[in-house]
Amino acid sequence: EGAPILAMTASFQRAERGFEHQDGLGPLARGLPAPEALPTLADRFAPHLAKVPPRLRQLYSAEANPLDLRPCEFVAPWDESVRAPRQAVWVRAKDPLPPGDEAVHQRLLTYFTDWALLGTALQPHPTAMWRRELQAASLSHSVTFHRPFRMDAWLCHVMRSPSASGGRGFALGEVWSEDGRLVASTSQEGLMRVRSTERDRPAG
């Protein structure tokens, strides 16, 4: 119907030498578990597939997803427990990727980092991503690439949410290589609105 569904701003730069620094510790240095010590996301979901809508089950099956996702802590999308606004997820492509095309790895990382950022902003609140009354949607998603990386090697997306207000949540992320290089930074603002229901209305 000709309706716009996406607006993107991109900037490009040729590789060049310059000042170098990074702040903070990599995932292993800060005490997060190594990816090999964690179950896959498919393993986490396997006992709960009856709770997953049929149209989404393929997304969470081991066979369908080309990425190996390993959350450091599994937060089920129906779990309304209150948690700190922080989480981390390891990721690696299941199959080797061809060498020499850095853009392929950047595109895959952009796709992956859209997953879980907004959920980080929901964690301090007694709600869940799959709550029927919750209206959640990405309003903006940005990725800044700092250093070369490969998606067929382990990367860890370390996320935190400094703020939620006015029906919107905001989250920041850092993407680290397993050997402690900061390869990208991310941010996302998203809609987090609970529709009014009989359960939510005050008595009287």
**Distance between CA 196 and CA 134 in Å, rounded?**
9
Digit-coded pLDDT (tens) for 155-172: 999 999 999 999 999 999
114 is catalytic: yes
Bridge partner residues of 50 (DSSP): none
- pLDDT for res 3: 86
Burial class of residue 194 in the structure, from the number of CB atoms within 10 Å of its CB (0-12 exposed, 13-18 middle, 19+ buried): middle
For this structure, is 200 an active site residue? no
What single-letter amino acid sits at 56? L
Three-state secondary structure call for residue 140: strand
The residue annotated as part of the active site, out of 61, 106, 114, 152, is 114
- d(C-alpha 165, C-alpha 170), whole Å: 9
> Which of the following is catalytic: 135, 138, 140, 163?
138
pLDDT digits (tens, 9 = 90+) for 33-67: 999 999 999 899 888 888 888 877 777 776 678 89
Model pTM score? 0.89
Higher pLDDT, 12 or 57: 12
CA separation for the pair 70, 92 (Å, rounded) = 9
In the annotation, is 138 catalytic?
A: yes
